Amino acid sequence: MLKPTLIKAAKASGALIKEKINSKFLIEHKEGPNNLVTEVDKASEALIMNIIRESFPDHYILSEEIGALEMDSSYKWIIDPIDGTVNFANGIPLCCVSIAIEKDGVIIMGAVYNPMLDEFFFAEKNNGAYLNDHRIHVSDQHQVKHACLVTGFPYSYLNSENGPLEVFGRLIREGIPVRRLGSAAIDLCWVAAGRFDGYYEHKLQAWDSAAGFLMVEEAGGKVTDFKGDYYSPYQPHLVATNRKIHDELLKWISNTHQ
């Protein structure tokens, strides 16, 4: 029942997002400039939670807008009802719903759905990653200098060594294309699909990356923190690549590539 419920929740939320993207809706501001939440985010979240609760009333839920609904369960649903809310609020069709399922601390399943592009990504631990039921794989690029990368920036800028602008500047000064789409979940899925060779970001939450990072791993890629250690969605730093450029990209981020 896990997979059908996950797919049902993601598709129902996606239909709501597609219906509402160019309509009028209430917009509120969270902590940090331009950190938005809309009434559609909240409606999407409620819709997803109702579908989950119908089948699994005792499962733990962690969602962006309501936070944690703790239950004594080995299963946790990690939800971003609209990833890319700024895009959504401005009618930009690069936004999605992202839902992951964690069991005993391991992400076992994830779905990311962008209904405007009709792209439904699904991954299951040890069973591969798929886009609209077609198996996907990471790219074959071997060098960062020839790669197409993607990143994102936090709403509250981090003044730290090798911060977001420092790393971005380092790469673009070498002519390396670095895109910014505004949705971490889409960024990760597009690495999994081979559209990007790598993705890095300095400040993510679990709901941003939990489904997408499984997508990359199941498509043959690699996901770590900035030190190259095991990636957990509960820490902020993420590097996701096609595996072949991973160690080199880590050096670019730490400024030890020369």
179 and 57 together in one domain: no
Q: What is the pLDDT of residue 120?
A: 98
Q: Which strands form 60-63's sheet, in the order they lie side by side?
A: 67-69, 60-63, 75-83, 96-103, 106-114, 119-124, 129-131, 134-135
Please identify every stretch of the chain with a pLDDT value under 70, giving residue numbers as ranges.
32-33, 158
The enclosing domain of 160 has a CATH number of 3.40.190.80
Of 80, 110, 135, the residue that ends a domain is: 135
Place of tokens 């990368």: 149
162 and 195 together in one domain: yes
21 and 45 together in one domain: yes
The enclosing domain of 80 has a CATH number of 3.30.540.10
203 and 164 together in one domain: yes
202 and 220 together in one domain: yes
Q: What is the pLDDT of residue 154?
A: 86
104 and 226 together in one domain: no
Domain with 16, as residue range(s), is: 2-135
24 and 85 together in one domain: yes
216 and 194 together in one domain: yes
Sequence letter at residue 210: A
Q: What is the pLDDT of residue 158?
A: 65
Q: What is the pLDDT of residue 28?
A: 84
Structure tokens at 11: 């598709």
pTM of the shown model: 0.96
93 and 207 together in one domain: no
Domain count, the chain: 2
Q: What is the pLDDT of residue 156?
A: 75
37 and 131 together in one domain: yes
Q: What is the pLDDT of residue 32?
A: 65
Q: What is the pLDDT of residue 160?
A: 78
